[in-house]
Every structure is written in C-alpha cells, then in structure tokens.
Chain A
Amino acid sequence: MRIALFATCIVDAMYPATAKATVRILERLGHEVVFPSGQACCGQMHVNSGYLKEAVPVVANHVAAFDTADYDVAVAPSGSCVASVKHQHPMVARSCGDAALEARATAVGAKTYELSELLVDVLGVTDAGAQLGSYFPHRVTYHPSCHGMRLLRLGDRQSRLLRTVQGIDLADLPEADQCCGFGGTFSMKNADVSSAMLQDKAANIESTGAELCTGGDASCLMHIGGGLSRQGSSTTTLHLAEILASTMEEPASVTGEVLVSTGKARR
C-alpha cells in the first residue's frame, strides 16, 4: 500500500522522531510511505480559536496537498488533527461558500486515518510485538486524548496495541478519560483553569509510578510533559508511535534529548 504521511505541524517542527517512527512502523509492515511536501497544518488552532477566515487558506493548502490519487490512504500520528481533517475541513469550506473545496475536503477526510486506526482497522495489526517487533521494557501509563476518544471513537485501539508491545509494563491511568487541559489556545486564554486540569492529570500520572506517559497526540503530550517538567517530575512523555517503533535492536530513546545527549538512558 502507498501511504501518505500527514506529519502534522507540531510533530514536523517539534517532534520529528514521532514522524520518523510512524514511517518506520509502516515500512516494517512492507508499505511505501510518501510525504506530500506541500502539507503544513490542519488548521484546527484557527478554527477552534474562532479565526475561521484565517483557517481557510490553511485548510485549502491541506486539501491541495492531499487531494491527489498518488496514494491509497493518508495517516497522521494524531487523533485531533485527523478529527479536524474529517470534521472541520468540510465545515470551513462551507463557511466560505466554496462547495468545490468542501467536496474535495470530504474526499481527503474519507482517506485519512489516525495511526492506530490505520494499523488496526486497515493493516490488521493485532499484536504489535509479533507483527511490528515492538519491544519497550518500561513502565508506561497511557492517556487517551479527548479528540481521538470522542470525535474519532478510537475506543481501545491504542491501548490494545500498547498491551501487545513486548516487555511493556502498562499501568492503568486513574481518571484516564479526563481532559489534560490543553485545548489549544484554551491553555493560554484560560491558563488558570487549564493549569488546574493539568495538575490533576499530572498527579494521576505520578500515582501510577510509570516512567513515562504515552498517548496518540503530540500536542497533549507536550502539554502534559511540560507540566511534569515544570513540577520537577522525572516522568516524561513519549508518543505511541515511538513505542510501537521501538525494537530490541533499535530501542526508542525514553527520556528525551536531555539524557540522551549525556548518554544516560534510563533503564
């Protein structure tokens, strides 16, 4: 299968390792990955902040980059951005009265999958250890991000994949279904409420004794990780794709750049 990678702006700019991991997983399964170079962002920051007019060129760009027959399906390592592509793009096109863009956006949305959705529903991955060689000998807890859970209805796809990673010690996160408080510009406009939500999420993560918290959305993980870092916690965050891509021969760097650069990978 020819799979187009939608890296998402945050992963492209801040977490390239997550996109590389996504490529590795798909190639390991024998698929060809393409990267439409015109891509930039899904535009949900603009839409969710009320700047619909400013969202239009962002959405139009995404549709132009992915509106080609050159791939079979598109994938993004993010539930939130995929939900935006599927649900918001046609709405944005409608709001500016562009019926042609709406139709193309709908077609692109129909071909776009969140990573775990693609792996489980389309590529038939049921055992990450056996099929992907995933190996990750760490204590991990998992935060199911809101948009994957409620807009895409990912259900237990992500956690099922995690459970089948060899060597993993997956700890249940109390109140897992509670929002981490990110919410895009909500984290700045309503910083106090957002921080209060984050504080509770961080406390729940700490209570599991996990070395790190994983999930399917880099934005939520940046939020959670940023809070843990500020509180001086040793717990970090790592995207699900990087855990799935981690193998015995090529393990994922667990603790981020700080410890990697000093060569101290925690075990």
Chain B
Amino acid sequence: MTTFLGMPALPAFGSGNLFAGESFPKAAHRELGNAQLRANLGHATHTIRDKRQAVVSELPDWEQLRDAGSAIKESVMARLPELLEEFEANFTARGGVIHWARDAREANEIVAGLVRETGETEVVKVKSMATQEIGLNEYLEEQGIEAFETDLAELIVQLDHDKPSHILVPAIHKNRTEIRDIFLREMPGADPALTDDPPVLAMAAREHLRRKFLTAKVAVSGANFALADSGTLAVVESEGNGRMCLTLPETLITVMGIEKLLPTWQDLEVFMQLLPRSSTGERMNPYTSLWTGVTEGDGPQNVHLVLLDNGRSAALADEMGRSALHCIRCSACMNVCPVYERTGGHAYGSTYPGPIGAILSPLLTGIQAEENNSLPYASSLCGACYDACPVKINIPDILVHLRSVDVDSKRGTKKVPSQMDLGMKAASWALSSGRNLGLVEKGLPLGRLAAGRDKKIKKLPGIAGGWTQSRDIPAPPAQSFRDWWAKEHRDAGGSPGTPDGGPSSTPSPETKEAQQ
C-alpha cells in the first residue's frame, strides 16, 4: 500500500455557470433564428470593433505592449503559488482577510457566511465575471440574501431575469425599446411615461441605484487585477457605480480568480493601456479604483477577498491550453468573432462566451463535462480573435488542441464509430500517399456523372449534407491534375517518375506547346 502525501489529485475541475447545456450547433440554430438579436449584435459588435481599431492603431508600440502583456502573464502562471502567497501576506498585513475557495460551491458558501455575519440581507454588486461564473446571485437568493447588480447593463439583465450574453456589454442583445419595457415592468417606481431615449433610461436607472448605494452595508465585487508586491486590488469600470459600491458600504467582499495576479505595481502600466483600448475602445477608462486592505475611517472597514480556483489549476496543468488563463476579460475576441457576431453569447451556455469561452469553459470544466466538447468546434479558425487579443492568447491553436483532446477522449469508447470518425480514417488512407489519392481520383468521372446535366451536386447524405444545405459542389473535372501531368509527361517522352517517388520534371516547352 502506498501512502500519498502532499498535493491533492489533479485536475479538480470547476463548477457553476461554466457549462453548455445543449450542443453549440443546436443552440446556435435557435439563436440564428432571432432576427432582432442578429441585428442588435451586428450593429453593436461592429461599433465596438471599429472603436477598438481606431484607438489601437494610434499606438505605435501596440504590438510591443501585447508582447509585454503576454510575457507578464506567462511569468505569473509560471510562479503562481509563490505570487499568491506574497499577495496574501501583503493583503493580510494591511488588514484584509483572505479566503481560499476550491470551487464555486465553496466560494458561494464563504460569501454567504460573510454576509450573514454582518446581519444584512441585501448586498450591492459591482459587475464581476467571477461571481457570474459561480452563480453567486442565485445562491445568495436561496440563502435569503438579495443581491442587486449596479452596473447598468447587468441591472437590465437582472431585472429581466435573463442571462448576460457578453462579458463587457451583458445586455448587448437588447435594444433600447426592449430596455424601456423591462424598466416599466420590473423597476419599482418607474415613471409610466418613460421613453426609450438613452439619457432618460440612464437617469431612471440612476435614481433606482442611488437609493441602493446610500443604504447598502455590504458590497460584493470582482477584481480586474491584484498586485502581489503591495496586496492591492483593482477594479476598472466606466460608470462609477462600481466605485460607489467599493467605497460606501461597511463590508466589501471581493471574489477573484487566482489567475488575476500581477507581480508588481509597475506591471499595471502595461495592462492599463491594453485593457481599455481592447474592451471599450477608449484610451482610458473613466474609473479605476484601487484599494489595499483597510484604511481606518475611510471606506469599508471589513475587507475580504475570496481567491477562487474553480478549475484554474486544471487549466494550468494543460500545457497547450494554459495561456487561456492570461485572459483579462476585455471581450475584444468576441467583438471581432464572426461566429459570436451571428449567434450571440447565449449559444455558448457558459458565463464565458465567444472565442475565449470556447476554450476557457472546457479547460475549466474538462472537455467531457455536459456539452462543453461542442464549444471548441464553434469556430472557423479564421484567426481574428488571436489578432485582437491584447495578451496574445493563440485561441485558434488552443481550439485545435481541445478538438484533439475531445476526439481522443472518445477513442475506443464508442460501439459504432461516427460518420466523422469513418470519414477521417478513410481520408487519412487516401491522403497519405500520392498513389492512394491517384486511385481515388480515378473516380472523378463518376462524380461528374452524379452532378448531372447542370454540372452541380446539390444534395449529399449524412454529415456532408451540412455542406449542401446552402452550397452546391461543382462537377469534378474529367481528369485530375496528377493524371494530366503524368500523361503530359509520358507523351513528352520523359520518365514518368515512380508513383510514390521523386519529382518528375516539366516536359520540354515545345511538346507542351503542342499539347495546349
């Protein structure tokens, strides 16, 4: 019998709102049918995309900034345990309290316990992906604690009992008329004469929120960055509602993924240039709040931080996939993604939609969790996301890696191989020698026959039917290039070359001329 001491068995995968409940193609099919959604998304993503491009283009050192951001994050991942302990020591020394949570359940229980200790039953919330990921609002509600989102877009989504569909613009799928209707229906005391004019809507939300800010005793936030060398936390936002939450209440509870660390204050310089330009397309975001522990007589006097793993250690253990943890949640990848632009965020199921979600969700949960193995295929591998990523996460390469993890995870487990399995096996044979491919190409005239009089193939069976649902295939040629070349060459009197061997060379120009 062996006695195992030390590290728990890895990987410990994440839980919470990280799962595609149905396969991506199925969800996408439904979302694509929503014309309003597609119009809203098309408009919104193109607007942000253009703004981002404009502010990125004006920086001569943008590529160097990306390199720096990537290098800093790589070094953080390489020495995460050490940096976490350094951060913990500094945060604690300044009066903060650290809590460690392995997964969503632990994090939720810690937060609920801390709120309960204050005797309060209401909390105000700063927009946060980590708390969306763990499903904190729903958990608190079960525990009799009401959580109020204070970010305008999150508020809209919460009032509508909906789910965010974008990490930066959670209500990107709603237009202003829809928002007016939600306010009228769900916001206590909303003026029945409310119009859909954006400033009017913003003022209505402001009035509603101001009441909350002035009475709340407990706030819950996420964090964009944590600086190890000082124990400082940072929240970057546009509206100032976050700052209200971070400064007015007596108790502040922050939930943050362990990958958000930066080694030093100096590193913030790089990210404060990368993040606003990549996310909102602004040179600088309007509000940046930084806090270090407790300051007597100023701001919250009970300051807590829940450090969340929830599958991050498992992602870190994946050599090819770990750079997904570099993500600073800017959303540039989804704003440029042609797939996201058409399906919206809900199709991805998880809190993290778009290209980053397609890799991050299965990395955090394991590829076999629910329908998350369909997410890495939700990309044409066009590469726009990689170009836009401020920390240079090679999303297409990681997507391909996760596809192979998915395929390998199913090898030998199926009684009957799928059409894709059989097709790939057959194609591997056909495409692994010139002779084999040449043999297959002898069948081209049959394809011509199948194409019929209009020289088009319009319907194919099985998975290939996906192609012919919107595309014809032209009639194949009577002869492959390979055949033509060999014949040309033979007729020219040269050696035809061995079927699998070395190169055969061009026929002499004179003979060629005669052939044409």
Contacts and interface: CB of A to CB of B under 8 A. Distances in A.
A and B interact physically: yes
Interface of A: 4, 7, 9, 11-17, 19-20, 23, 27, 32-41, 43, 45-55, 57-58, 60-61, 65, 68, 70-71, 95, 146-147, 150-151, 177-179, 181-199, 222-223, 225-227, 229-230, 250, 256-258, 261
B338 A181 contact: yes
Interface string B463-485: 11111011111111101111011
Contacts of B477: 13-17, 257
A186 B455 contact: no
Interface string B438-458: 001100100000000011101
B407 A50 contact: yes
Contact of A179 (B382, B387, B500): B382
Contacts of B400: 47-48, 50
B474 A50 contact: no
Contacts of B499: 37-38
Most chain B CB within 10 A, of A45, A50, A51, A222, is at A50
Contacts of A198: 470-471
A120 to B, nearest CB: 22
Most chain A CB within 10 A, of B383, B434, B464, is at B434
B384 A150 contact: yes
Contacts of B480: 12-13, 16
A46 B420 CA distance: 10
B343 interface: yes
Contacts of A189: 25, 377, 420, 463, 466
Given A35-B503, A46-B424, A225-B474, A183 B463 contact: no
A183 B436 contact: no
A222 B473 contact: yes
B404 A51 contact: yes
A29 to B, nearest CB: 13
**Is chain B's interface secondary structure helix, strand, loop, or mixed overall?**
helix
B503 A68 contact: yes
Contacts, number: 246
B339 interface: yes
Contacts of B501: 37-38
Most chain A CB within 10 A, of B339, B402, B516, is at B339
Given A183-B379, A192-B28, A226 B503 contact: no
Interface string B7-36: 000000000000000001100110010000
A51 B471 CA distance: 25
A197 B484 CA distance: 36
B28 to A, nearest CB: 5
A37 B481 CA distance: 11
B459 to A, nearest CB: 11
B508 to A, nearest CB: 11
B145 interface: no
Contact of B481 (A19, A45, A54, A185): A19
Nearest to A256: B474
A189 to B, nearest CB: 5
Nearest to B457: A226
B138 to A, nearest CB: 30
A187 B467 contact: yes
Contacts of A150: 382-384, 386-387
A152 to B, nearest CB: 11
Contacts of A37: 434, 482, 485-486, 497-504
A193 B28 contact: yes
